[in-house]
Amino acid sequence: MAIKIRHEKANGLVAEYHRISQVTLRKINGEYFVKVIINSYLSKEVREKGTGLNLYATNHTITVPAEIVESGATIQYIYNELKKLPTFAEAEDC
């Protein structure tokens, strides 16, 4: 699973395929936070062929309700929450 959206960095790098590479769950003062590291690639094809390393990685933190964590938050849930962030608001599942 991944999401597709065109991002162009200030240095001209363009990535269209973004995939979760790491998820860390923390509980602080009774609230759950998920730290997500996203690896971004030129395209899905480049990622799948293994011919290119990720262009860059970004960190995002989302708050997850306790009932979601306790019932087993899924990767799909995390991708859906990421798509609520301005950075990925126009992203499509792929």
Domain membership of residue 86 as a residue range: 3-93
Q: Are 82 and 90 in contact (CB under 8 A)?
A: no
Average pLDDT value for residue range 76-89: 92
pLDDT in tens, 27-74: 888 888 889 999 999 888 888 887 667 788 899 998 888 878 878 778
Task: Name the 3-class secondary structure at 36.
Answer: strand
Res 56: pLDDT? 86
Average pLDDT value for residue range 7-17: 89
Res 52: pLDDT? 65
- How many independent structural domains does the chain possess? 1
